[in-house]
Structure formats: C-alpha cells, structure tokens
Amino acid sequence: MKRIYVPVVFTLLVALNASIPIFAQPQIELTQPLPPLLPPSLSNIQLLAAVENAFVDIVARSKPAVVSIIAKNVKRKPEQQSNPLYGTGFIFRKDGHILTNNHGVNGAKRIIVTLFDNRKFTAKLVGTDASTDIAVLKIDTDEDLPILPFADSDGVRVGQFAIAIGNPFRLDYTVTIGIVSGKGRSLLGDSNNLIRYQNLIQTDAWINRGNSGGPLLNIYGAVIGINSMILRPDGAPATDAVKAEAGFAIPINQAKKISDQLIANGKVIRGWLGIRMDENPKGIRVKNVFQFSPAMQGGIKRGDIISQYNGQKVEDTREFKFLIADSLVGEKVKITVLRRGKPKTLEVTIGEMSPERMGIRVEPQSESWTKLGLEVRELGKRDFERYTYLSSDDQGLIVGKVKIDALAPKAGIPRGALISAVNGHQIRNLAEFEEALKEALKGSEITFEIKTAYSEATEIVTVKLDGK
C-alpha cells in the first residue's frame, strides 16, 4: 500500500471546515489518500467570508457586555498627582457586577462606568485583590444587563484563536485577534508586602494601555481571561504605549474563584504556611520560616525540602503557592519533608494570610488594636466555607490582624480566631463588641470566648491588663 506523508498546515480554511481533519504532528503517516481540501461547492472567497462573518458575529454579540472605566482621583503615593485612569471591564452578572483589574481602580475616589449604549453609572467598588490583580465593581440598574459567559480556562489550548476587546488609548471597543501563545506564565515576583499568584495566558492579540480589565474571548464568545499585562521589548512589564510583543490575561477560572469571594465577603481569604522557598531537584526548599507561623508551629525547619503536600508530589513553587492559598484556614495537612536526606511527615494546621501580604494597608485605630493588639471584622456570609472550624450558625467577630507583642496575642488569641463573647456577653457585630470591650477595659482583666484552628471546641482566654 502506498504511504503518503503530509506536513501540518495551520490554516483558517482547515480549522473552520468540520469535515476536514486537523493534524497535530509535524508529519503524519496516512494509509489512504486525503480527500480534496475544499468542498467543490464552496469557493475560497465564500469560505473566507464565512470566517469573516464568524468573527463579526462574535464581536457584535460580545460588545454590549463590555464597558469602559474611568477611575478618578487615583493616588498611589502621597507625593503623586491625582490623575484619572482609563480601562476596560465586562459585565458577568445580570445584576450589574463587573470584572476588571485591580491596578486600574484601586485607590480611586470615584469610578465611572460607561455602557455600550453610552449610559454612565457611578460604580461601587465591591472588592479588590492585588495578589491576582482582580477587582469587582457593581452598578445599580432596574433591568437585567447583557453578560459575557465564562469558558473553562483550564481547557485553553496553545494555538487556539483569541479575541480581545477593550479601550486602548480611549479608542473604545477596539477589537484585535490573535492566538493563545502560551500558558502558565508568571512575570512578577513576590515582594515583602505582596505575594502574587500568577498563572497567566499569553496572547499575541494586540493589547495596550487601556485594554486592562477587558475580556479575552474564544471563538464561541466566552471569556477565557482578563487582559492584564503587556511585556516591553526589554522584558519589563509595560505601563505606557509601547511596541508590545506579548499580552497576558488572568485565567477566567482563577478570576471566578476570586470574584465569588469578593462578592461574598469583600475580601479574599487565603491559606498561609509562612515560609520563603525556592525550587530544588527533590522538591521545594525552605529558605526561611516566619516566626509564629503555621509552618513553625507544625515543625517545619529552615533547610527542609518539601516533597509532598497531602500526598501530592510538589516540585514547582508557583503551583505550591496555589495549593497553600486554596487550602482552608484551619485545615490540617500532611507535609512530607526531607531533613538531612531522610523523609519526615509533619501535620501542619493552615493559617490565614495577613492583609499586608495581600497588598492591603491596614492601620487600625480602634481601642481593641491600640490597647490589646487585635483588629477585628464582622463575619462574612460565606466565611464558614474558608474556615474549617466555623459553621453557618456561628456568630461573633473574626480577628483579622494581631500585633505580635501585644496583650491579646501573648495571651493566646491568634489571627483568624472567632470571638463570640467578651466577659460573658455574647457579641454579633462590631457595635456590640465595642460596647462590651469599653466596659471590660475598666477592669483588671478581660475574658474572651474564642474558636480557633488549634482547638477542638470553644475556649476561654483571659487577657490581664497592664497596670491593673
């Protein structure tokens, strides 16, 4: 039998004709001759017109859900002048919830959203997450708004079409088309006050300043990512108009998880281990262990090589960061380390990442902070989904931040603890907590009823006040 060798041809004509096979290998051995490339009844011009109409239809259906965003009176630093920022977003819930980038709206005193039909709204900032560069806005209307559906970004393939819609240089609803050029990209490292979580989709669809927050679509008009960054020719992330060879988008699966938490609680709750790390041929090497961290309490030491996390082999620091962040606060995990070449399995209770490590500046001025070293917040509607030791029936306040050398942390109240009573008085909100605390501060000691990740049941902690 005669054998025929056919090279791969990347062509729109083949990709859009369902009756024609697409070959994925550089050279494929066939036992039968190929059918004609084009159906006899369809001319080249007709097929190109079908391709053109497909893109036009996707754009026409998608544009009404894309919005332009102006963030006014934005000051990143006190010495900076206040200038408006122009960006893009898209509606993903019919009630007016909008996804965009954190870097385009965080710090703004006023956010103006313009819809496709030129209606303007002042948007509420529901929540932001600097670690992933995601923000959620909300506009109020009496009608259901058009939305963009989500694709499954885990299934995105390198080489598939990608369509970007946005407002670069205030050129509203600019459309560009390219392909997905790569996956799993990470451009920016962590800093002292910000741990980043990047798993970016790379595209050659042209995007530039002002595209930030806009959708990256597949050929079905579903969102695969949020356009977020461009790379300058010198390799640095670009903030101004440049010749950008690569654009990057946040995978929509990641954005959905973050937006769900922002809508439910106005913040993101992440698991925290408390180590600095780098990669090692045998796993993840522990460079440093933070004081009073879950890692220290669980017995992890500097120089350990983490080889398994809950039985799963770990080798990549980026993937390991995601594993920790997605773990529930209070979850007891098995971590296998190599210590002096010998394996050792430790049980570690996952803690909650502090606001500072997520880029949130917190400067409490309350009496609970200044006198006890506790910053507290009210329970969110879905906090019990992220804390293993909470239930939907619990009431009280969550400790969001502690001052390590202050009275309450020294007495045994950790970050993430639920305070349900002060001196025997049950509390359900900040007002009740402040009233109970004001009265309690008149005495020589205060008792707190708390639940934590480190105890099986509610416990009583006594804080002795200085000088009393």
Give DSSP secondary structure letters for 298-356: TT--TT-EEEEETTEE---HHHHHHHHHHSPBT-EEEEEEEETTEEEEEEEE-EE--GG
Q: Please list, in sequence order, all residues whose beta carbon lies within 8 angstroms of the beta carbon of residue 260, skipping any fewer than 6 positions away.
A: none
Find out if CATH 1.20.1050.10 is the number for domain 271-352: no
> Using CA atoms, how far apart are residues 284 and 306, in angstroms rounded to an integer?
5
Predicted local confidence at residue 449, as pLDDT: 94
Domain parsing of the chain, residue ranges: 4-62, 63-265, 271-352, 364-464
Which of the pair, 209 or 18, is modelled with greater confidence?
209
Q: Report the range of poorest mean pLDDT among 7-11, 154-158, 225-229.
A: 7-11
The pLDDT mean for the chain works out to 85
Catalytic residue (choose from 133, 172, 304, 383): 133
Task: Please tell me the pTM assigned to this model.
Answer: 0.79
Q: For residue 68, how many other CB atoms are within 10 A of its CB? A: 23
- Residues 312-324 pLDDT 10s: 999 999 999 999 9
For the question of residue 103 being annotated catalytic, the response is yes
H-helix or E-strand spanning residue 47: helix 44-62
The radius of gyration computed from the CA coordinates of the chain, to the nearest angstrom, equals 27
- Residues 324-358 pLDDT 10s: 999 999 999 999 999 998 999 999 999 999 888 88
Q: Report the range of poorest mean pLDDT among 43-47, 65-69, 154-158, 263-267.
A: 43-47
> Using CA atoms, how far apart are residues 201 and 213, in angstroms rounded to an integer?
14
Kindly report the CATH number that applies to the domain delimited by 364-464: 2.30.42.10
Mean pLDDT of 270-274: 94
Predicted local confidence at residue 237, as pLDDT: 56
Fold of 63-265: Thrombin, subunit H (2.40.10)
> Using CA atoms, how far apart are residues 455 and 461, in angstroms rounded to an integer?
12
Catalytic residue (choose from 97, 103, 153, 368): 103
Predicted local confidence at residue 111, as pLDDT: 95
For the question of residue 212 being annotated catalytic, the response is yes
- Residues 233-242 pLDDT 10s: 655 555 555 5
Judged against a pLDDT cut of 60, whether residue 206 lies above it is answered with yes
Predicted local confidence at residue 354, as pLDDT: 85
Predicted local confidence at residue 38, as pLDDT: 55
Please report which confidence band the pLDDT of residue 11 belongs to, taking 50, 70 and 90 as the band edges: very low
Catalytic residue (choose from 212, 228, 307, 354): 212
Which of the pair, 209 or 8, is modelled with greater confidence?
209
Domains 271-352 and 364-464 share a fold: yes
Predicted local confidence at residue 78, as pLDDT: 55
Predicted local confidence at residue 197, as pLDDT: 92
**What is the percent of the chain with per-residue pLDDT over 70, rounded to a whole number?**
84
For the question of residue 133 being annotated catalytic, the response is yes
Q: Is 76 exposed, middle or buried (0-12, 13-18, 19+ CB in 10 A)?
A: exposed
